Amino acid sequence: MPAPSPSDVILFDGVCNLCNGFVQFVIRHDAAGRYRFAALQSEAGRGLLAAHGVAPAALAAEPDSVVLLSDGRFYSHSGAVLRIARGLGGLWQAAALAEVLPRAWRDAAYRFVARHRYRWFGREESCWLPTPELKARFL
């Protein structure tokens, strides 16, 4: 699989502690700075969703915490997480082995965690703000 293009954007639930932790994990392991980020609740996030024909209300109905926009394509659920892990390179590419499982199973597990993420990991009142050093990677 080719490396992510500079246009790869990870959209995440900005008030979810699990999602914020995932973004920080990606930042730590994406030394090349290939991924950019936007909260699903932000103006930039809503605009990107609309540009790809996804209504924010659709994501509210189907719990989603991480979405990937890559090369003009929209990835959600387990597909987004596995594609991001593969794009990080190194050992993280091993996560792609989970693709041998049926997508329905992977997505069911993803939705289960997404439905319970606030209860298990908590939530913030407002979106996480990046440090000045990371601000350029956020839309």
pLDDT by residue for the chain (139 residues), tens digit each? Answer: 444 445 699 998 887 888 888 898 999 999 888 899 988 888 888 888 888 777 766 555 555 678 899 988 888 888 999 999 988 888 888 887 887 889 899 988 888 888 888 889 887 765 656 666 676 677 6
What was the pLDDT predicted at 4?
42
Q: Which two tokens stand for residue 2?
A: 């080719």
Residues paired with residue 10 on neighbouring β-strands, in sequence order: 37, 68
| Pairing state between β 66-70 and 9-12 | antiparallel
Query: In sequence order, what are the beta bridge partners of 16?
Result: 123
Which residue bears the tokens 């041998």?
100
